[in-house]
């Protein structure tokens, strides 16, 4: 297996990720059957999770992409940079798909932008949640579908990066 020197240990293997993502897909299938939801991939980190997740949802759906970021290397900048326009979501059942919630600044900002466009409903699916790292302002923020809650670790792989590297690792690893 390819484990770069900067990876201290593997937190979730490819198999563990596949099983958890499959379970989330089952829940989404039962919650969205008959609704034609719009799944929105929050770029770039959620791209791998998104691709696996939507293939586990067994009902008609559509997809969109939205680019937002607030990280620089291994640190949150505290400033959310939204680089896309919010797609037309009026009256749609929207599921925002994110890789990880940390301070929750990014998703709180993205969620507010999406809610301004009057979706019929808006839910959030995220693979990882660092609950203990919430910004005080967003301490009650939680996703509707969460893969795993993790401690305050910097992790990479399965789409998550450190300065754009390691997104291609098929597992989630702890960065040294």
Q: Which is closer to ligand IMP, CB of 45 or CB of 119?
A: 45
DSSP state of 159: T
CA distance 95 to 16: 23
Instruction: List C-alpha distances in Å: 85 to 78, 113, 133, 139.
Output: 20, 9, 28, 27
Contact in structure between 123 and 145 (CB atoms under 8 Å): yes
Strand partners, 121: 93
Count the site residues for ligand IMP by CB under 6 A: 18
DSSP 79-117: EEEE-SPPP--TT-EEEEEEEEESSSHHHHHHHHHHHTT
Among residues 52, 93, 99, 102, which one is catalytic? 102
Q: Does 82 bind ligand IMP (CB under 6 A)?
A: no
Active site residue 102: yes
Give the per-residue contact string, 111-150, with ligand IMP (x = CB under 6 A; - = no).
----------------------------------------
Q: Which is closer to ligand IMP, CB of 105 or CB of 111?
A: 105
Q: Which is closer to ligand IMP, CB of 48 or CB of 156?
A: 156
Q: Does 25 bind ligand IMP (CB under 6 A)?
A: no
Containing 25, the helix (H) or strand (E) segment is helix 14-32
CB atoms within 10 A of CB 5: 6
Give the per-residue contact string, 28-57, with ligand IMP (x = CB under 6 A; - = no).
-----------------x------------
Site for ligand IMP, rule CB under 6 A: 45, 69-71, 76, 98-106, 154-156, 160
For the annotated catalytic residues, the residue numbers are: 102
């Amino acid at each position: 297996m390819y484990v770069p020197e900067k990876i201290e240990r593997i937190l979730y293997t490819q198999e563990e990720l596949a099983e958890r993502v499959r379970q989330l897909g089952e829940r989404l299938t039962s919650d969205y059957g008959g609704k034609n939801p719009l799944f929105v991939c929050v770029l770039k980190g959620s791209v791998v999770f998104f691709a696996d997740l939507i293939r586990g949802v067994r009902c008609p759906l559509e997809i969109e992409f939205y680019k937002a970021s607030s990280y620089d290397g291994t640190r949150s900048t505290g400033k959310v940079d939204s680089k896309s326009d919010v797609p037309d979501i009026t009256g749609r059942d929207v599921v925002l798909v994110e890789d990880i919630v940390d301070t929750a600044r990014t998703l709180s900002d993205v969620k507010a932008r999406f809610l301004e466009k009057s979706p019929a409903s808006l839910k959030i699916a995220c693979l990882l949640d660092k609950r203990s790292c919430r910004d005080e302002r967003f301490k009650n923020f939680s996703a509707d579908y969460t893969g795993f809650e993790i401690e305050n670790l910097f992790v990479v792989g399965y789409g998550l990066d450190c300065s754009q590297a390691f997104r291609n690792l098929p597992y989630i690893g702890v960065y040294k």
